[in-house]
Structures are given as C-alpha cells and as structure tokens.
Structure 1
Amino acid sequence: MLDLFGPSDEARIGEIARQAANSSAAGADSERRFRDLLQALPAAIYTTDAEGRITFFNQACIDFAGRTPKIGEMWCVTWKLYLPDGTPLPHDKCPMAIALKQNRPVRDAEAVAERPDGSRICFVPYPTPLRDEDGRLVGAVNMLVDITARKQAEERMMLLTAEVDHRSNNLLAVIQAMLRLTKADSAEAFQATFQGRLSALANVQRLFSASRWTGASLKTIVEEELRPYASGDRERVGIEGDDISLPATLAQSIAVAIHELATNAAKYGSLSTPSGRLNIRWEADPATSLVLRWSESGGPEVTEPTRKGFGVGAVDGVIRTLRGRITRQWRPEGLVCELSFPGVAA
C-alpha cells in the first residue's frame, strides 16, 4: 500500500521512529522539536509506550477520529474500529496492538474507523515499533492515512463496470432482434432502415454517457428523433411534457417506438406532406406510470393497414417487453397512438 503515498514513505516513517527513539536521550528540547514536527504534519500520527498507552497525538488525529483522545488510553485514538468487511475490530487486536505485542511493523492492513457521530473512515495504518539504543521496545508510532475517497471511487467503478456490462448485453439483444426482424425489398432499403434504427439507439447511449449513466432525458429523445421533421416550421411538430429521466431499458424502447412512428408518419402519415402536423405529449401519474400520446393531423387520409409491417411490430414488441400497453386509432385525419408504461424511475 505504500506505493500510493510515494516510495519514500517507509523511510519517512523509519526516520520518525528513530527520532522518537532518540528523543528521550536528547533531552526535553529534542522531544519538544519532535512533537512540534508531528503537530505540523497533516497526517494523523500518535505514539504509545511499550504497553500501548497513548503518549502523544497531533491535531490531525482529532480531525481524523472526530474526538479528542486521552493520554493514557490504550492502543488507538479512534472511537470504534471495524475490519473492511464490517466485522468489529477490538482495539486490543488492532494493527497498533499487533505491532507492539509482536514487536514488528504492520503493513498492508486496512481498517474502518467510526467516529462518535456515526460517520466512518477507511484508512491504512502504519504502526512501527520504537526501540532504544539497546534495541529494547520503548513504544510505537502510528500514522493513519485516510483512503475513504479512493475506496468510494473503487466502489463507483465496480458498479459502473457492472452496469455497463448489463446494458451492453441488453443493447446487443435489441440490435440482434432488430437485425432479425428488419425486412426490405433491396440491400439499399435494408441498410437505410437498419441504420435509422441503430441511430435511434446510438442517441440514447450518447445521452446516458453524457449523464454518467444516471438516466436519459425523455424530452431530448423525442426532440432529437423529430428534429429532421420540425426544422424551419415550429408549428409542424408540437412537443409537450415535463422532462423525465428514463432508465436504460425504457429509454431504448421509447427511442425505437418514436423512431418507428416518425418513419411511418414520414412515409404515409402527417409528416409526408407540408400541411401535416404532429403533436406528442406525455405525463407521469402519481403511481409513476408514463403515458405518451402521439397525434397526427393534416396529412393524407389514413386507413387501418391490412398488413402489419415491422414498424408496427417493433413498437408492439417493445411495449410488451416492458409490460406496457398500446392503443391505436386510425382516424381519417391521422393516426392517434397512446403508449403507457408502468414505471419511469431511472
């Protein structure tokens, strides 16, 4: 663990130990200088006698432990101790106690200190025995290095890695389904159709990346899918609804559904003519379900199709996957489609 704090830390601790061992022989002035040196250091450092009774602690120990230790207390300046797995660690079995009882430095140990206010700190101790000129054990010095931020970063990285792995598998499954179900009369038509669906999924992944995988904005998903049809005419496409952060599976499904609805509208519905209009709005009810309504008007007269194409099948498929519901009304003035999902929490 010493490499985290620089290659000279072992030597630094040894030098402190040697100074402490010689301080009594050098007299009160040397001891005072030694204690001033320890007080000036930002790391929590304390010393004990050969029995483990605390003989000195610096201000950094108070800040670290969240309490003011007492001279004469045994083994450690902290209030409560735990092993990294949460098991309580008695003070008489802490690394400092082991260093004194076995008369050896203790390295590569980690522990968790609990303060009186309940907050906890992960730390690495560096207990080192102190010996006099004859090699007799006279006490020990310990330095406590706070590694809480590093441990939290490691936990976040592990969670992120697991989440990315899960979402990658989910995304590949979606792509495989799209590839299997995409139909076209030519290679060029297949490429164009499949590329559009991939772009919808890519937009969602970009949104998740920008938010550090905390969620994807429903409003941004809708706006980006409909942007090609709304440019130059703000009245052609209307979007209403408070922004909602969506989890990965729901965001991907809605992106595919919006893409397919927009593609169908551009080929056969309201977005296929300059006079056509589209309104999309959504709301979340108190039970956290999401209802999204797609309304077309002003385009060619619409009749219910006699054959279900992949676009319709794709929308139906993603809705069923999320235990959602879909209703369609093939009105002469345009399609009205309502999608409802049981949950929206990211």
Structure 2
Amino acid sequence: MNVELSEGGAREWAAQALQTSPRMLDVLPVAAYACDSEGRIRWFNRRAAELWGREPEVDADEERFCGAHRLLDDENRPVAHAATPMAFSLRTGRETHGTEITIVRPDGSSTVVEVHTAAITDQDGQVVGAINCFHEITRQREAERKFRAVERHARDLLEALPAAIYTTDAEGRIVSFNQASVRLWGIEPEIGATRWCGSQALFWPDGRSMAFDECPMAVAIQTRQAIQGAEAALGRPDGRRVPFLAYPMPLFDDAGQLSGAVNMLVDITELKAGEAALAESEARQRAILQTTPECVKIVGPNGHLRYMNAAGLEMIGADDYAQVEGVRVIDLVAPEHRAAWQEHHDRVCSGEQLAWEFDLIGLRGERRSMETHGAALALADGRLAQLAVSRDVTARKRAFEHQQFLINELNHRVKNTLAIVQGLAQQSFRDLPRDLREGFSGRLGALAVAHDLLTREQWQGAALQDVVHGVLAGHGGWDPARLRTEGPNLAVAPQRAVSLAMALHELCTNAIKYGALSNRTGQVDLCWAVEADRLLRLRWEERGGPPVGEPARRGFGTRMIEHGLARELGGSASISFRPEGLVCVIETPLDGPARTAPGSGTA
C-alpha cells in the first residue's frame, strides 16, 4: 500500500524515510531497502546485503533500483534493474506483491526471493521514492520442486502399473485415476461427480446386481477400515463382465480426519478361467480314476498310502478311502512278496519306472495276484512318491495255470500214446529187419522231440536251434568238429518245427548209416538264413564220407523230404547226390517277419 503523508509532516517524514534505514530493520530476518524517485539507493539493511552478496554504493547513479549483481526471472532469463518491481513502483506509484526473482551474487551463487514494493508520495501525491521488502524462498521453492518431482514420479508410477488405481474424496467422489482403470472400466468417469467406482455396473460374485454404495470402496469409506481382496465383478459398456479383487484403503489427514480413499482393482479374468479349466481338468481326471477298472494309488516315500481310487478300494476290500488312508501298503502285500515289493518301491522313489507282480491280501483276507506299473511322482516338498497302476491278474494267472495243466496233461498223454505206438510197432514189426524197426522208432523219437519243444513253449512255436539240437541229441549227440551248425536262432511256427525235425532226423540217420558221419573223417555243414521275402533257406552239405552215387530208387526218407515235407512246409526241398557228398536244400516261407527266439543269438 502507498504511504500517504499529511500536510504538516509530509516533507519531513518522507525525507527521513528515504534518508536512513530504521535500526530495527537490521534485526528483522527480511531484507529491505529504499530508493528515491530516480531509483538511487538511499539505504538498505543488513539482510539485504547478505542476500545480494554485496553492499551497493548509496546515492550512486550507477546503483539504481536494486543492489543485486544480476537478476533472473522464473525462466532463468536476465532481468534488467530498470525492469524490476522497484522501478515499476517508482514509475507508476503502484504496489507489487509476491514477485519471484532470482538474485545472482558476485561469487556465482544464487537465491530465490519474493519481492514486495510500495511507493512513497508527498502531500501532492507525487512519488518521491519507494521501499522494497524481500525475503528468501529458495528452500520453499526447492521443497516445492521436489514435491512436484515426487508427485510426477508417483503419477508416472501409477500410470505404469498394470493394476487399476483410483482415489476419491471423503464423500466417495472420484478425484483421480490411472489409465489402467479406464481400460478396466471401459469408460472414463467424471472427476468430482462419479462416486465410489468408475464402472458402468457392479455385481456380486454370485452374479447378483450390486449397488454402488455397497461396493468395497464405499464400505471402506463408511467403516473407515481397509479391505483386502474383496471379490466382485464389473459391467463394461461393451457387455463384458470382468471379475476383480478390490483393495480399498481410507486416507486420513494429520488431524486424523478422513480425507478420502485409494483403491486398487486387480483383474482376475485369467485367474478365474484358469481355476475353471483346472476344476474341469480335475473333474475329468477324477472321473477317469474312479471309472478305470485298474487300481490307481499313490504311495509316499515312507510306504504309506496317500491316494487310492474306487477300483483299488474294492480290490483290497475297503468301504471307503478313510478306512485305509495312511496305512502301510506293505502290510497288504503277501509276506513272501514283501521284500521284493519294498525293493521295487524304493527304486521307483529313486526315479526308476518299473513293472512287477506281487500278491496282496485284502482287509477281508482275500488274496489277489497284481500286475503293477510304478513311476516316480514329485510331491510338493520335492520328494518322490510312487504312482502305481495295478491290474488284478488273478483270473488270468489261474487260467494260465489251468491251461498249463491241460498242456502238460496233453503232453503226457501224447508221450504215452507215442510210447504205446512204439511198443505196438516193435511187437508188430519184430519179424521185419532191424533197420526198418529202428527207422520207425527214430521217426517217432524225432516227432517226440518236436512235441516236447512245442509243449514247453505252449505251442506258440519253437526255436530253430532247439529243434536242430534236439534232433541231433536223439542220435547220441554230435561232435561239433564234424557236424557244424550255423544260423540265427529263429522262432518257427509249430507245423514247420515238426516238419523240419522230421527232415533233419532223416538226413542225420542217412549220414550216420551211409554218408559223411558213417566214417571217422566225414563232416557235415548245417547252415540256415533268412533271405528276401521272408524265405528261410536251410542247407545240409556232406563231405569227406564214402563216395556218393545216384540211388537206383528213392527211399522213404528221400520221398518224405522232397514231397511230403515240401508240401507241409509250403516251400521246396531238393536232394543232390554229389560224389563228394549229399546236399539237401530246404526252402520254406516264414509266417511273418523273421523273429529271433529268446535266449541266444546264433548257433
């Protein structure tokens, strides 16, 4: 405000005000100085000199309007002394208030001050000078700058967060929100008007409509209590319904009065979809486990039962899972199989995948034979348990045992029949030459060898090596140096096994009587291999025996090999009577791909 002077003392007061600084101004924390109407500095106090960083010359034409070294505006642009608030008040006679300006001292340091100026006039209203009071606001402006930076950082942080965050005043009116909120709501609320939540509609988790004043944000403000993870759903303008979790928290001022609230909304659409998919998967797996006829169980590393499906409970005679939960599975295993079961269980819990059989004894004493397949299953604590699928093979084993009994009984009866036939032949043919009787008996023996081999394999076939060795053994064994065999240990069908046994018997009998094995130096090579198109080719070649000539007539053995057995084998058989030794080649197709019999490689 301008200083008005009365007629009586105006001139004297104005002269004194511009002449010297009142002493009390030196003890004040504010800076002050006065200029005459020409802008020459008439006086300044101690604080003014401190802020300027210098002491200007009083009443000097060079020191006009301000004692600062340099001045800058709020955009760091230079300010001429003639453009300062002091110059303005001297020129116009008007006051200035709150002008911010930066003082640059001679040493380069600076400070921000807030300036207030007032003109001094005489009784005629003429401006005779002005007074400037200014004070330092550097710390205040620095604090405001830091606050703005923090506020900007917080705003940027909120915008960067994927969660929807918004704030309201104490009445629930929305005062701020981030873009994630807009993306979630699908609509932008009106600041200061929209209350409680910015969505178009709200729903309870069960799908019922929710009033806005019942939403988590409204409840938090009304009760002045924070809420953690309240579930609800919002309706968007596009018709979508979005489930979310709300985390509203009331805000209070320094006096403890409610000032507003902040809320974070977390979209749980994917979580809900995952939960639904997981529930569907679990239901599907439960249905599979409960309907499968096999026993499915989980056995912990300590051997205690952790899970068993309905089929398994039925197998052990349990009414429900609670009856056997946590029992030691080994206690249900037949005593003679417990050691093996424990070994296999430990190996599975070490990471192996195994299959084995054992007998179990149920809660009601019923014994069952089980075929189980176990694999390691990782538990939540990192240990491995046994996940096992077990099949009740009691009926299968009993059927197999019964079948084996019938086969053995049949084998026994066939042997008895062959023995009876052999006895009848010896009695009936006793008047015939000995070689005829022995030939018939030998053929019966070869037939018995093939029958024994097939019986041992449940008439599924026989290993060709076993057929060869069995026939040769029937002739009192053989010297590998004189009779060499070579070929893969193929599995042959039952009929071919019988036919080949009969053929080899005839060849071996002929070699011992007339051929390479009738002296001490002859040798026989018996080789076989599988050629193209699944063709088995067997070659019997003699050398070093007595000279061989074409017989005048074909004997029974030759006719049987070349004609009868060739037809039965579905192939061909030829015998060559070379001078150096007899050669027989038999070719027969295999029933399927060449299959190696278990037990060995080649003969």
CA distance in 1, matches of 2:567, 2:548: 25
Aligned mate of 2:496, from 233, 243, 250: 250
Alignment of 1:194-343 (within 5 A): 194-227=440-473, 228=475, 231=478, 233-285=479-531, 287-315=533-561, 316-343=563-590
CA distance in 2, matches of 1:42, 1:323: 50
1:42 CA drift (Å): 7.4
Question: Measured at CA, do residues 149 and 337 of structure 1 come closer, stay the same or move farther in structure 2, by a change above 3 Å?
Answer: same
Q: Secondary structure in 2 aligned to 1:287?
A: helix
1:168 CA drift (Å): 10
1:222 CA drift (Å): 1.4
User: What's 2:432 paired with?
Assistant: 186
Question: Measured at CA, do residues 311 and 184 of structure 1 come closer, stay the same or move farther in structure 2, by a change above 3 Å?
Answer: farther
CA distance in 1, matches of 2:496, 2:318: 52
Q: Secondary structure in 1 aligned to 2:521?
A: coil
1:323 CA drift (Å): 1.0
The letter for the 1-side match of 2:581 is G
* Aligned Cα root-mean-square deviation (Å): 4.2
The percent identity for this pair of structures is 31
Q: Secondary structure in 1 aligned to 2:529?
A: strand
Q: Secondary structure in 1 aligned to 2:533?
A: coil
CA distance in 2, matches of 1:170, 1:291: 31
User: What's 1:43 paired with?
Assistant: 316
CA contact under 8 A between 1:167 and 1:248: conserved in structure 2? Answer: no
CA contact under 8 A between 1:229 and 1:237: conserved in structure 2? Answer: no
CA distance in 2, matches of 1:247, 1:184: 36
Question: Measured at CA, do residues 202 and 59 of structure 1 come closer, stay the same or move farther in structure 2, by a change above 3 Å?
Answer: farther
Question: Measured at CA, do residues 42 and 184 of structure 1 come closer, stay the same or move farther in structure 2, by a change above 3 Å?
Answer: closer
Could you say which structure has the higher strand fraction? 2
CA distance in 2, matches of 1:218, 1:294: 14
CA contact under 8 A between 2:411 and 2:455: conserved in structure 1? Answer: no
CA distance in 2, matches of 1:222, 1:309: 23
CA distance in 2, matches of 1:160, 1:230: 30
Question: Measured at CA, do residues 282 and 341 of structure 1 come closer, stay the same or move farther in structure 2, by a change above 3 Å?
Answer: same
The letter for the 1-side match of 2:569 is L
CA distance in 2, matches of 1:284, 1:164: 33
Q: Secondary structure in 2 aligned to 1:45?
A: coil
Alignment of 1:43-122 (within 5 A): 43-46=316-319, 59=325
CA distance in 2, matches of 1:166, 1:229: 27
CA distance in 2, matches of 1:226, 1:340: 20
1:303 CA drift (Å): 1.4
Q: Secondary structure in 2 aligned to 1:46?
A: coil
Rg (Cα) greater in structure:
2
CA distance in 2, matches of 1:189, 1:42: 64
Q: Deviations over 1:18-71 (max 9, x none)?
A: xxxxxxxxxxxxxxxxxxxxx999724336xxxxxxx977559xx9xxxxxxxx
The letter for the 1-side match of 2:565 is V
User: What's 1:119 paired with?
Assistant: none
CA contact under 8 A between 2:404 and 2:458: conserved in structure 1? Answer: no
Query: How high is the TM-score relative to the length of structure 2?
Result: 0.30
Question: Measured at CA, do residues 326 and 169 of structure 1 come closer, stay the same or move farther in structure 2, by a change above 3 Å?
Answer: farther
Q: Deviations over 1:267-304 (max 9, x none)?
A: 22111111211000001235332110000111111112
CA contact under 8 A between 2:492 and 2:590: conserved in structure 1? Answer: no
Q: Please state if 1:153 is matched with 2:397.
A: yes
The letter for the 1-side match of 2:587 is S
Q: Secondary structure in 1 aligned to 2:500?
A: helix
CA contact under 8 A between 1:291 and 1:340: conserved in structure 2? Answer: yes
CA distance in 1, matches of 2:430, 2:587: 29
The letter for the 2-side match of 1:197 is R
CA contact under 8 A between 2:408 and 2:455: conserved in structure 1? Answer: no
Question: Measured at CA, do residues 261 and 281 of structure 1 come closer, stay the same or move farther in structure 2, by a change above 3 Å?
Answer: same
CA distance in 2, matches of 1:334, 1:189: 22
- Higher RCO (C-alpha 8 Å, min separation 6): 1
Could you say which structure has the higher helix fraction? 1
CA contact under 8 A between 1:276 and 1:299: conserved in structure 2? Answer: yes
The letter for the 2-side match of 1:337 is C
1:252 CA drift (Å): 0.7
Q: Deviations over 1:186-238 (max 9, x none)?
A: 1643331111011111112222333344432211221232344764x432111
Report the count of equivalent residues: 212
CA contact under 8 A between 1:184 and 1:190: conserved in structure 2? Answer: no
